[in-house]
Each structure stands twice: as structure tokens, then as C-alpha cells.
Amino acid sequence: MNFRWTIKLFAGLPERLGMNILEMELPAAELTVANLKQAIAEACPEHDAIISISFIARNHSYSADDQIVSCQDELALLPPVSGGEEFIHHNKSDKSSTIERYRITTKPITSDEVLEQVISPDNGASIAFVGTTREWTHGKRTVMLEYEAYEPMAIATMRQIGDELTERWPGTLCAITHRIGVVELAEISVVIAVSAPHRESCYEASRYAIERLKQIVPIWKKEIWEDGSEWKGHQLGPWNPINPLS
């Protein structure tokens, strides 16, 4: 007897595999993550390299290789999140939800609207990190960026970042808004606002939140140039969103 497995695909994976959802018939209803990735690689052997560095998400949480997943779970195969190392390239011819202070939106963002969510009489310092689309990177002219998100999990992992900040720096408040879709030059793609009782912890928490967002939040960007486009992956070395930042 075989069981139907359904795995959602994101970023450049649908373009590579030619589908948004991978469906497979496998002889087991439960597998370790490592065995499931092996089955996916066997079904798509020409894409083994990107599959091997991707993570499986189970019900909106990252799963380690030794964890058990079921064909009844909501499963997704997630390539490295938005950052600097390239992992997929295409020629040019290739074709909001809100939970508390954590939002994914298709609309323009302003830093003030995010910052005001963390202003508190208990905190004497606040800071907003604003990410925008820059025109030139390593001598290559960017025309625009296009962002994609696994939205339910993106909100969940943003909330996780806020919880981690509160645990490390008590009293800290965090708000994150990230835009998806096309983001033109000089437009805002992300605002991370942090407030804390004192400025030292506010600076530290803000830097932590930025790096953690790049590590665990399933949002991807495609850089679109005059002569082509490229999906971007994690820029900090081997991608392991299960590991905490030091």
C-alpha cells in the first residue's frame, strides 16, 4: 500500500521542478526528514544539489533530519532564505496577513508605522532597521527585487524572533513588517523596529533580530537585472535555521 505525500515548493524550486506542489506515492505514512528528502531527491535527481541544502518544514516549523514527519502533515521544502549567495539562475525570458506586530504585506511600508508599534513608556530607546532595494551590487545593476514568502510560517518565525529578544533582553519589544511582490529601487522591503529599556540592549537586540530574520524566516528574493534574474539564498555560510545565533 502506498501513501500520498504532498510537499509545497517555494522560491526557485517551482521553476526548477516545473510545479508549485510536489506529490509522491511512497510506501510509508511516516518518514524521517532525511528519508523524505532522499525520496524527493530520487524523484528529482537532477536537482539533488539544491534539495540537499534545503529544509523540510512540518506544520510551519523547521524539522531536523532525524525528526519524524507524516503524510498528513503540512509539509514544505524550503531553500535557503533571502540573503547573498546565489543558488538558482534564470534568463530574463523565464517567466497580508497580520498577527500582532508581525506582518507580511504587498503594500508599501513606512518606518514610522512599524516603529510606533514598539514605543512604550517602559522603554527609553527605540530603533528601526530599514531595508531598501539598492541599484548596484558587485557591479551589476538591479532593476527591481521580487519577494516571495511562505506566509503562515513567516509570521510564526517572526513571532519567534520577538520571543527570543524578550528572553535575551527583558522588556524588549519588536515589530517586523516585510513586503512581498515587486519592490522597486529605493523602496522599503523590510522594517524591523525594536524598543528596549536602555540603548545598549536596543542596539544589540536590533542587530540580533536582523540576522535572525535572514536565518530563519522563509522569505526569498529574486534580483531582476537588465539581462536576467537570480534567486538569492542565505548569505552567512551553511544554512541551518534550527541552530540559534550565538
Rounded to 5°, angle at Cα 127 from 107 and 186: 40
> Does the predicted model carry a pTM greater than 0.85?
no
- Kindly state the average pLDDT of the residues 170-176: 97
Model pLDDT, residue 84:
45
Q: Are 24 and 39 in contact (CB under 8 A)?
A: yes
**pLDDT tens, position by position, 190-206:** 999 999 999 999 999 99
Cell numbers given for 193: 523596529
- Domain spans, the chain: 3-79, 87-233
Residue 103 identity (one-letter amino acid)? R
Supply the CATH classification number for the domain 87-233. Answer: 3.90.1170.40
Architecture of the domain made up of 3-79: Roll (3.10)
Model pLDDT, residue 81:
78
